Structure 1
Amino acid sequence: MKSDIIKKFYISKEVCKIIGITYKQLDYYDRTDFIKPSINGAVAME
């Protein structure tokens, strides 16, 4: 029987909007281990 749990993944842009920070802040938090993504680490965007 399949689990009834629905998993939702968010891209960096969505996370920033949801928690009210800039992408640079999110990137800094990831690089300093303050906040770590549960799926993928930070990838530089240009």
Structure 2
Amino acid sequence: MELKLGFRKPAVIMIVGVNGGGKTTSLGKMAYRLKSEDASVSS
């Protein structure tokens, strides 16, 4: 899936889901990908 960020800064991504749904894992993967694309990631 393509995620287009950058047209507005800062970008805020909100993740919502049930317990055990993989939110933390998904956020970690997303942060790793964004960092590899030279984006600034904050928590």
Bigger Rg over Cα: 1
Greater percentage in helix:
1
Q: TM-score, normalised by structure 2?
A: 0.33
Structure with the bigger RCO (C-alpha within 8 Å, sep 6+) is 1
TM-score (norm 1): 0.32
